[in-house]
Amino acid sequence: MRLRVVAFSDFICPFCYIGLTTTRKLARELDLELECIGYEIHPDWPAAGISAKDFYASQGLNEGQWRSAWERIARLAGDAGLAIKPRERMSSSRLALQAAELARERGVEQPFEKRVFSAYFEQGADIGDVGVLAALGEEVGVETGELRSALSAEKYRDKLMSNADLAHQYGVTGVPTFFVRGFPIVGAQSEQTMREILKRVQDRVASA
């Protein structure tokens, strides 16, 4: 029986990149249907983004602490086959999440998602910039003019607000959060841990 997994995620979250990559690797093996819901975790950030130094300071972390945290993140990412780097400046994800909704409508959600994560965490791109998003969208088949027009008109603003309401209904407090048959899995897990969790759920469903 196919197992539906609902994932709340944001493009500026490294654990989302890791967690979604790991889950997609397991999708064929475990017959999973993965639905991603874009959830803007920092709607208060300005369109131009925020410096990493200022953000971590607001979280009570000094430079040594956040660089140490990033070393752990990089190791977890490496285990998932990703080579991500810490950001000096963090982008607002609002436009990228809206662009992802257009990519979903055009049937290229997954390649667009992968390309945006890669551009942000591996290439240092500013995914809060319309031109950057238009170029990334064009790479995977989203027409540049259509994407620019949709973002200019904030065509998917209400969709993001609806996603946020849904996240609150689910009780989401951070990303990534995966829901499998109502059971939440919070954060990025190792491939083996995620496999074991999902298999346990499948076994319960099969024996019910």
Confidence at residue 2, expressed as pLDDT on a 0 to 100 scale: 87
Distance separating alpha carbons of residues 181 and 23, to the nearest angstrom: 16
Confidence at residue 159, expressed as pLDDT on a 0 to 100 scale: 98
Per-residue pLDDT tens for 15-63?
Answer: 999 999 999 999 999 999 999 999 999 999 999 999 999 999 999 999 8
- Residue 77's SS3 state is helix
- Residue 7's SS3 state is strand
* Number of helical (H) and strand (E) elements in the chain, helices listed first: 9, 6
pTM: 0.96
Tokens representing 150 are: 């949709």
**Does residue 29 contact residue 198 with C-beta atoms inside 8 Å?**
no
Beta bridge partners of 35: 6
- Residue 4's SS3 state is strand
**Does residue 14 contact residue 121 with C-beta atoms inside 8 Å?**
yes
Domains in the chain: boundaries: 3-207
Run of H or E residues at 180 = strand 177-180
Per-residue pLDDT tens for 4-17?
Answer: 999 999 999 999 99
Please return the burial class of 39, using the count of CB atoms within 10 Å of its CB with bins 0-12, 13-18 and 19+: buried
Distance separating alpha carbons of residues 22 and 150, to the nearest angstrom: 31
Distance separating alpha carbons of residues 98 and 160, to the nearest angstrom: 7
Per-residue pLDDT tens for 131-156?
Answer: 999 999 999 999 999 999 999 999 99
Domain 3-207 annotated CATH 3.40.30.10 = yes
